[in-house]
Amino acid sequence: MEDERYYKLHGLGHLTNPFNNSIGECKAEIWQDILKLHYGIITGRDIEEKYSNFYSISQLTVITPHELNRFKKLNNRKPWKEQVKPFNFYSCRISDN
């Protein structure tokens, strides 16, 4: 068997792929950067420079009335077909602030 590596999304699965490559390549690249940082091969500054132009985007599901209420203004005066409804998905930017 060749040197086969398998990268899981554990801890990263809630994020969308920020790169223009496959999800497998994306997972590998992110985990390799995390390990390089841990072992001192790269610095925190290197990580900041590489990822600073990307947003952390997560896909969430509208599952509670409270979440659905957030879309009240957006849904206003739209036909039912075009409204955000329970169990629809939405994307949100994750902020570190």
Asked if residue 61 and residue 22 are part of one domain, the reply reads no
DSSP result, the chain: ---------TTTTTBPP-SSS-HHHHHHHHHHHHHHHHTTSS-HHHHHHHHTT--EEEEEE--SHHHHHTTHHHHTT--GGGS--TT-EEEEEE---
Asked if residue 48 and residue 13 are part of one domain, the reply reads yes
Asked if residue 19 and residue 62 are part of one domain, the reply reads no
pLDDT tens, 27-54? Answer: 788 889 999 999 999 999 999 999 888 8
pTM for the full model?
0.57
pLDDT tens, 62-87? Answer: 999 999 999 999 999 999 999 999 99
Asked if residue 91 and residue 48 are part of one domain, the reply reads no
Domain that holds residue 97: 56-97
Asked if residue 66 and residue 41 are part of one domain, the reply reads no
